[in-house]
Amino acid sequence: MRKNLGKQPAVFPMPVLMVAAYDENGTVNVMNAAWGMICGMDKIALFIDEDHKTTKNILTTKAFTVSLADKEHMAAADFFGIATGNKMPDKFEKSGCHAEKSVHVNAPVITEFPVALECKLAEIVETENLYAVVGEIVNVSADEKVIDDNGKVDPLKLNALIFDQFQSGYYVAAEKVGQAWNAGKEMMKAAQSPE
């Protein structure tokens, strides 16, 4: 039997994204954002409010990075979600994390997080129901420790944090259970076969 839970953002899993940008003085600011998703082969959309310090920085510099938070740096990732750059301008410095300037865009790469999407601002989408920062992915950089023998990121080595909107928990993926575009092949064959 199903139970009605009312209105809530009931999607699981959600990513734990570290969005970083420089301000007009070159100071690093990072925020934790769960409401973001790939929206094209070279695009990412971040559904973040325009009043965030990081959003203001992105509008100023027209560039940002999006890093995947990992289990090893969960405390820093959570801190970036708790502290606001509007009230704590030196929050990045207080985090103890480190940054290097991307060679592809005018934005910081946070070295502690193993995968970073380096983006230029493509557009802002603003409607009655939506405010989205859309970035064009110029480059993806990854720490060698999370790359497999084929030169791709291995999700099990990554230990990326997954956010749970039901109970506000952090999780990591523990096992691969199937292969995309393969797990449903038998159902596809059955659906296409004549009766």
Query: 């023998």: which residue's tokens?
Result: 149
pLDDT of residue 89: 86
Backbone angle region of 6, left / alpha / beta, with phi > 0 → left and psi within -120 to 50 → alpha: left
- Sign of the C-alpha dihedral, residues 133, 137, 107, 158? positive
Count other C-beta atoms under 10 Å from residue 118's C-beta. 24
14-192 belongs to which CATH class? mainly beta
Q: Where are the domains of the chain?
A: 14-192
Q: For the chain, which ranges sit under pLDDT 50? A: none
pLDDT of residue 99: 98
- The pLDDT tens digits for 45-101 are 999 999 999 999 999 999 999 999 999 999 999 999 999 998 998 999 999 999 999
Q: What is the pTM of this model?
A: 0.94
Asked whether the beta carbons of 107 and 119 are under 8 A apart, the reply is: yes
Count other C-beta atoms under 10 Å from residue 152's C-beta. 10
pLDDT of residue 193: 84
- The pLDDT tens digits for 67-78 are 999 999 999 999
pLDDT of residue 174: 86
